[in-house]
């Protein structure tokens, strides 16, 4: 029959919190976690919960989230809880590029907690690069910023109510042209794959790019034999990569390591394929 898990949700001043989503499950991000909403008096109840160790969490718009360990006894005894949501300390800040210019439409995510139990709150920057996340509290936060055309950036921030400035790098693009080595004519249909440099001194590679670049490869069909990445793939200028090109009737060509050109560069890599 399981156990009843019941309790109340109150704010930092002890007032009941109505309409908070209370969930039970092994991971904070699982959409399938059983959940209920707190009543006018902040109360909630779960019936017939199976015994064992798990997590219990609370989410309420405009307030910091809460996650705690929960042990449901194996003797069917009820579990009584009082959950206090911490005082919100809004996180305000600005996202700029390396030149100090504001970057708009960047998603800024603030997370607190260890993996599996971290609570995430998000905001998006405006035309001045500014953002505000109301539902966080003071303390250590992991801040991540990402968006189209920029490199995903993460920082650890000790939040004390002061503003935060996040500097991001604009992404760049890869491009190349595939030709027949003997005739110089374009090869129209081909597949391009990427692979990290084997030299550790070349530092970090790409992060957040579409996995098809790494495994099956990106397929292209172009009368001029041209290929390129796009702004959806955040590729960092100065990174190093191997480029592998495969086309029917030709030997596979692997070049590299090649250094990714800088932002705004029109450099085009030439791939000369040899017939089998």
The pLDDT of residue 262: 80
Sole residue written with tokens 């950036």: 153
Identify the CA nearest to 84 among candidates 5, 21, 9.
Answer: 9
Q: Which residues pair with 272 in a beta bridge?
A: 179
- Per-residue pLDDT of 71-98, as tens digits, reads 999 999 999 999 999 999 999 999 999 9
Per-residue pLDDT tens digits for 109-122:
999 888 788 888 99
Mean per-residue pLDDT of the chain? 93
Q: What number of other Cβ atoms are within 10 A of residue 276's Cβ?
A: 8
Label residue 204 by pLDDT band (50, 70, 90).
confident
Q: What are phi and psi of 167, to 5 degrees?
A: -100, 125
Burial track 59-68 (b if 16+ CB lie within 10 A, e otherwise) = bbeebbbbbe
Cα dist. 250→107, 149, 274 in Å? 43, 34, 6
pTM: 0.75
């Amino acid at each position: 029959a399981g156990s009843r898990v019941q309790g109340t949700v109150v704010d930092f001043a002890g007032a009941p919190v109505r309409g908070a989503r209370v969930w039970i499950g092994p991971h904070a991000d699982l959409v399938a976690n059983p959940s209920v909403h707190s009543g006018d008096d902040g109360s909630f109840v779960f019936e017939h919960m199976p015994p064992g160790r798990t997590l219990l969490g609370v989410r309420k718009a405009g307030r910091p989230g809460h996650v705690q360990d929960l042990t449901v006894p194996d003797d069917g005894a009820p579990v009584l809880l009082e959950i206090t949501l911490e005082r919100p300390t809004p996180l305000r800040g600005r996202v700029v590029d390396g030149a100090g210019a504001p970057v708009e439409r960047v998603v800024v995510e603030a997370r607190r907690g260890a993996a599996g139990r971290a609570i995430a709150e998000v905001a998006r920057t405006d035309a001045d690069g500014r953002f505000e996340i109301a539902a966080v509290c003071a303390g250590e936060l992991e801040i991540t910023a990402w968006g189209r055309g920029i490199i995903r950036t993460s920082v650890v921030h000790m939040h004390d109510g002061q503003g935060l400035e996040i500097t991001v790098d604009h992404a760049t693009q890869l491009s190349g042209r595939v030709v027949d080595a003997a005739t110089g004519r374009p090869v129209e249909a081909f597949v391009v794959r990427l692979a990290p440099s084997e030299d550790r001194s070349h530092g970090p590679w790409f992060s957040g790019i579409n996995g098809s670049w790494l495994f099956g490869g990106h397929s292209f069909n172009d009368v001029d034999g041209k290929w390129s990445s796009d702004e959806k793939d955040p590729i960092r200028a100065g990174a190093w990569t191997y480029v592998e090109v495969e086309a029917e009737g030709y030997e596979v060509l692997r070049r590299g390591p090649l250094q990714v050109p800088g932002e705004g560069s029109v450099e085009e890599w030439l791939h000369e394929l040899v017939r089998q």
